[in-house]
A and B are shown apart, each in its own frame.
Chain A
């Protein structure tokens, strides 16, 4: 178990800057997620940590050991690749034993540990199979076993579930988290799937264009996003522009084209001044449809509706633009109409963001 520290790492490819001075610290035993859209630099950062890319500048530490220039084979950071990267010329067992052989582990111990590893990923007795006899989900587990069997200091996972179907993906999320926690590994997990990150992560970093947008626990990031980008990337949100008219311990009231809204100030390094232009973020499920106006509410009419089974999604036209509203297990289904309706939100569920 080891901490991983990344200090102002910059990585450029030609004229494009994939990582623009990233710093973060991952605690020992933590399952840390790197999250972001494609091209945000998350995989590049992971590959820098694995040693498959060398940062243009900056430093990376495993514990107290600097590994920035260390070749990958000396880092003891086992990686699980998106494409699994299983060697087709070796059997399942040979794939798993590879890393142990490279570490000159005695033969009988290799045999035992390979069996244990297969056991752990729920593939006992599959050692003699060839790789192309395995299904996608099985291959995924073999690649996990191959990385885990060497008892690495940390486990690096590059979108390991992106090639699996939805059901298997949900199942494997729990499996991977269990295995990482049982083995006490420090894990770094790259994904673009926010649901995966929210359900599995201890903490996560949202990356945007080579920079860190926000670091925090899933709850912190969902409940208190620091920017509109983060709010939109993790879950969906309605953003309304407005101007601060009042402030009171941790809350601010903002005037918007649709009326006044009060919300929390979540940022630690910024506090809006009266008269400052800000953005207000309201999650679709935070809006409540009410027949008449009340406290902290705006008015509009239902424009569009989609029925999604467990929930229902409305688009409500207001003076501040269309608002997305989600109701879970509603007792009443509204039809789109020109009739005026009111949207109410608790002030704890409104986040005031720097614009």
Chain B
């Protein structure tokens, strides 16, 4: 019977995935290869790809997206690796608080952060004003810190936003190392730095690659940040701009298909070639390595490093907060006049309140849906003996490899009149179901990973005991299995919920009417509004920040092992 349930769940989940994930992604690829004649017939073609690669603007867009992805990933790595290693090895004052503070970037949607960064580091921003005030810069010759076609600004924003993901992955990889491995090397006479390169780094490599591949895919397909920086020559923005004439212009399909192939390729390489764990099926370490206590000077340096990263990472937050409070702010270090007007005004704005309600509804329902599917998948993966279970585990991780933009694009195309997903569009063009499904499948990996981790740690004998005492399988799940992994599930859900609230691609592309806008699209729309639109957006961004910091702290407290949630 158990086997039957497992088979049923596997089939249902596979079908759902085929319909709501593989089909839309596949549809995008198919459209990219298909030309439709006026008479309605269609045939296979490479002409859109030759159009893309033949056009210097698209070539540049793809190249920019790719280099943005690579440079952002290395910048992220440069921040995250030292952080994780120092945190793993040494004890220093304020370690636990600083360890949470460096996660600060996660609470701000990156494109909102970009607004703040512009305010702080732009030509007329705070930093230049500060330098001018100090006499270090001539007012007539301000320096553009975000220069180079805004490329630098985007990399900075990506790195500052994405390093926590990599940091948590590497930290988790290091924490899962059996300290005996390093101790054995030490015992055999290997000095610390050599130990790092010969033992620690090779063993932590899967974590590094797993995190780096997520960061790359994220940066490579980032839509919000380049939009805010008005950087149009990057593929995701070109796709977004091409949406309006979609029925006539198939170029966006081709671009999207290229993004998908590159992203999936990077994911596959990281997972199957580079990221193969040399530990294999080594048992879980029983002990944790004790952090080393350093001399006061050195430990102060460690604290200082964490604090510095936190401060730099807070620049966007600071910019957004100041902006939301600014009555007037141009060319000065801090605003000339402070006011709470934007907050009160935001509440009266026709976009703001509905967008908060919409986002809560979308993200809440999506999380519940993802939780139900994720729990079922995790149960099959951990508790059943189906051969298919490892495949299932790999399938549900795929959303990490497929850019949000690709999915959003596929959903949009399929929800048109007469297409397969049109039934998901509610009365009055409500994208409610569409967005909920899109959010849920994209966030599924977080829930599956946390539920799998929980189930693996809880002994199946505890469930068997309940069974033998007369509890039905369903009651066993409710009274024993779920309470035991409750913390894991809560942590995964909160994360999924928070990311759904912050979602950009699906939100910007699928919500087309103002009354259905989620928060992110409301912010984006406000940014483009004349008058005090930017300040209103900042005020809304601050609310989102407060909300997300509470959510993520809750997840951290419940989840305990923060890194586990991001492991691929």
A residues with a Cβ closer than 8 A to B are: 50-52, 71-79, 81, 83, 85-89, 98-99, 102-103, 143, 146-147, 150, 156
B287 within 8 A of A: no
Interface residues of B in 455-475 (CB under 8 A from A): 459, 461-462, 464-473, 475
> How far apart are B477's CB and chain A's nearest CB, in angstroms?
12
* Contact assessment for B484 and A146 in the assembled complex, using a CB-CB cutoff below 8 Å: no
B464: contacting residue among A79, A103, A150, CB under 8 A = A79
* Contact assessment for B484 and A85 in the assembled complex, using a CB-CB cutoff below 8 Å: no
* Contact assessment for A83 and B466 in the assembled complex, using a CB-CB cutoff below 8 Å: no
B residues with a Cβ closer than 8 A to A are: 1, 459, 461-462, 464-473, 475-476, 479-480, 483-484
A-B contact pairs, 14 of them (CB 8 A): A71-B472, A81-B465, A85-B459, A86-B465, A87-B462, A87-B465, A87-B466, A88-B484, A98-B479, A102-B466, A103-B470, A143-B465, A146-B469, A147-B468
Q: Which residues of chain B are within 8 angstroms of A71 by Cβ–Cβ distance? A: 1, 467, 472-473
* Beyond known contacts A78-B468, A81-B465, A86-B462: 7 more, CB 8 A cutoff: A51-B468, A73-B475, A79-B468, A85-B464, A98-B469, A99-B469, A150-B469
B468: contacting residue among A52, A86, A89, A103, CB under 8 A = A52
* Closest residue on chain A to residue B472 by CB atoms: A73
> How far apart are B404's CB and chain A's nearest CB, in angstroms?
37
Complex Cα spacing A72 to B464, Å: 8
Q: Which residues of chain B are within 8 angstroms of A74 by Cβ–Cβ distance? A: 470
Sorted nearest first, the 8 A-B pairs with minimum C-beta distance are: A99-B469, A85-B465, A79-B468, A85-B461, A72-B467, A102-B470, A102-B471, A89-B483
Q: Tell me whether A76 and B461 are in contact in the complex, defined as CB-CB below 8 angstroms, given that A71-B1, A102-B475 are known contacts.
A: no
* Closest residue on chain B to residue A70 by CB atoms: B1
* Closest residue on chain A to residue B486 by CB atoms: A89
B461: contacting residue among A51, A83, A98, A156, CB under 8 A = A83
> How far apart are A341's CB and chain B's nearest CB, in angstroms?
52
A147: contacting residue among B459, B467, B469, CB under 8 A = B469
> How far apart are B503's CB and chain A's nearest CB, in angstroms?
34
Q: Which residues of chain B are within 8 angstroms of A102 by Cβ–Cβ distance? A: 466, 469-471, 475
* Contact assessment for A156 and B479 in the assembled complex, using a CB-CB cutoff below 8 Å: no
> How far apart are B558's CB and chain A's nearest CB, in angstroms?
14
Complex Cα spacing A257 to B473, Å: 63
Q: Which residues of chain B are within 8 angstroms of A143 by Cβ–Cβ distance? A: 465
* Closest residue on chain A to residue B468 by CB atoms: A79
* Contact assessment for B469 and A78 in the assembled complex, using a CB-CB cutoff below 8 Å: yes
Find the residue from B459, B465, B466, B479 having the highest chain A CB count within 10 A. B465
Q: Which residues of chain A are within 8 angstroms of B462 by Cβ–Cβ distance? A: 85-87
> How far apart are A91's CB and chain B's nearest CB, in angstroms?
13
Q: Which residues of chain B are within 8 angstroms of A50 by Cβ–Cβ distance? A: 464, 468
Complex Cα spacing A71 to B468, Å: 9
Complex Cα spacing A50 to B463, Å: 13
Q: Tell me whether A98 and B466 are in contact in the complex, defined as CB-CB below 8 angstroms, given that A71-B473, A85-B459, A85-B461 are known contacts.
A: yes
Q: Which residues of chain A are within 8 angstroms of B467 by Cβ–Cβ distance? A: 51-52, 71-73
> How far apart are A145's CB and chain B's nearest CB, in angstroms?
12
Q: Which residues of chain B are within 8 angstroms of A73 by Cβ–Cβ distance? A: 467-473, 475-476
* Closest residue on chain B to residue A76 by CB atoms: B470
* Contact assessment for B459 and A89 in the assembled complex, using a CB-CB cutoff below 8 Å: no
